Copies of this chain bind each other. A is one copy, B any other.
Amino acid sequence: MSASFDALGNIVGRYPAADAAAPVVMTGSHQDSVRNAGKYDGLFGIISAIACIKDLKARGKRLPYTLEVVGLGDEEGVRFGTALMSSRAIAGSFEPSWLDKTDERGVSLRSAIEEFGGDAEAWPALNRRGKLAAYVESHIEQGPVLLNEGLPVGVVTAITGAARLRVAVAGLAGHAGTVPMGSRRDALCAAAEMILFVERYCESRRALVGTVGKLSVLPGAINVIPQDVEFSVDVRSGENALWREAVEAFGREFQKIAERRGSSVIVSPVYSADAAPCDADLQDQLAKAIAEQGIAVRHLASGAGHDAMVFPPICPMAMLFVRCGNNGISHHPDETMTADDAEIATSVLLHFFEHFDAAAFASKQGTA
């Protein structure tokens, strides 16, 4: 395998096919993480791919396609607020205006890339549209699903779509001692009903999660009935219809709750994104590789975002999830993965790479 930096500072390893005209398959993940992060997020996807190539090389085994391992420089966007920047350059959706973004010391992304030895203006050269047969990424789950089911790995079905709402409930302030219960328009009691509706609704549907993570109360005094409550809703599903229906149901029910209580509510959408589906054929081949290890195959959606989510517009993609210990905690020093699980995941990947017929797949998909 040869390795080098590309123009934006990503590390790219290349394990070439004998035939220079063979299809190219990309694997890997991101090198960066958040502050006070864990050790496996991102890095595992790079190292497990390198381990596969090491094994292939030791056995003198060439693949019928060129396998590229990318160590992406910026997925989290911590320094410049440019999430998925590296993979979007590869997928042809890089935003040139990002180069002018600055970090907290005023250094621009452009000059940071140049200082690192890169060539910021050469970003169009990274675009691999029409040149990749597939993108396959392994990643620590960052959640508790595999852990709770006693499984070391799982096949990702989609990176979930999401909507975020800002909900403003307006009631009427009043003295906590002098206004009888029946005369109140307590905005916090209304919000409490709405929060429990979000929970109940999402619990009653598979493949849907909903969270109220922020909430503020005004005037926020111990002896004053709450007049104004604002809270956030984050709802996600691997199936776009599910989160869209949820947003509509929340809006309808919040109105009902507010009306019944003589209060009012304004629900404002602040963000939405469709799910990024994993390719069904690639999912099947990962599933076969898992079954070969004698392990039950679990399909699950990814609730968190990943580099893989930017690839569907340019090539089929798939993801392998690896069990995350400590109740699924991630982006935290307690993030953990066992050596046994790392070994199993790498064996699954290796099996996948060895059995993947990139040419047949590409011709069936109509990709490069």
Contact = CB atoms under 8 A, between A and B. Distances in A.
Interface of A: 141-145, 148, 160, 162, 164, 172, 174-183, 186, 188-189, 191-193, 195-196, 199, 202-203, 208-215, 217, 219-226, 232, 234, 236, 302-305, 327-331
B176 A303 contact: yes
Contacts of A209: 176-177, 179-181
A181 B303 CA distance: 12
24 contacts: A142-B175, A143-B180, A144-B178, A144-B179, A144-B183, A145-B180, A145-B183, A176-B209, A176-B211, A178-B303, A178-B304, A178-B330, A180-B209, A181-B208, A182-B203, A189-B196, A191-B192, A193-B196, A211-B224, A211-B225, A213-B219, A213-B226, A214-B220, A222-B234
Given A195-B189, A196-B192, A143 B175 contact: yes
B178 A141 contact: yes
Contact of A224 (B213, B220, B224): B213
Contacts of A234: 176-177, 222-223
Contacts of A330: 175, 178
Given A144-B178, A145-B180, A181-B203, 6 more contacts: A174-B328, A175-B304, A175-B330, A176-B209, A177-B303, A178-B302
A232 B222 contact: yes
A186 B211 contact: yes
A224 to B, nearest CB: 5
